[in-house]
Amino acid sequence: RQITDDLMNQPAVTVTNFVRANPTLPPARTLQSRFVNELARREDWRGLFAFCPAKPGTTEAQCNYYYEKWNAGQSEEAW
């Protein structure tokens, strides 16, 4: 709960470790997409790509993911 309540201040390694250690917990199931959106809010495009190399599940997170691809010069993958 501490991670999800304070997502804006969490480093990627903390979120990754939590999701890997607790994949069946309800908060862990949505945490990846929520953190992708948080990284986009921070405009941390490099961090977003490192955290989520594959397309995330939710529509909002996918938009941020593809925007990051376009921003990184990978326009073929963004479309």
Helix, strand, or coil here: 1? coil
pLDDT at 76: 80
Query: What's at 79, amino acid-wise?
Result: W
> Domain extents for the chain?
2-78
Helix, strand, or coil here: 79? coil
Read out DSSP for 9-63? G--HHHHHHHHHH-TTSHHHHHHHHHHHHHHHHTT-HHHHHHH--S--SSHHHHH
Burial of 64 (0-12, 13-18, 19+ CB in 10 A): buried
Query: What's at 65, amino acid-wise?
Result: Y
pLDDT at 11: 92
Confidence (pTM): 0.79
Tens-level pLDDT at each residue, the chain (79 residues)? 678 888 889 899 999 999 999 999 988 888 989 999 999 999 998 898 888 888 888 999 999 888 888 888 887 877 6
pLDDT at 63: 92
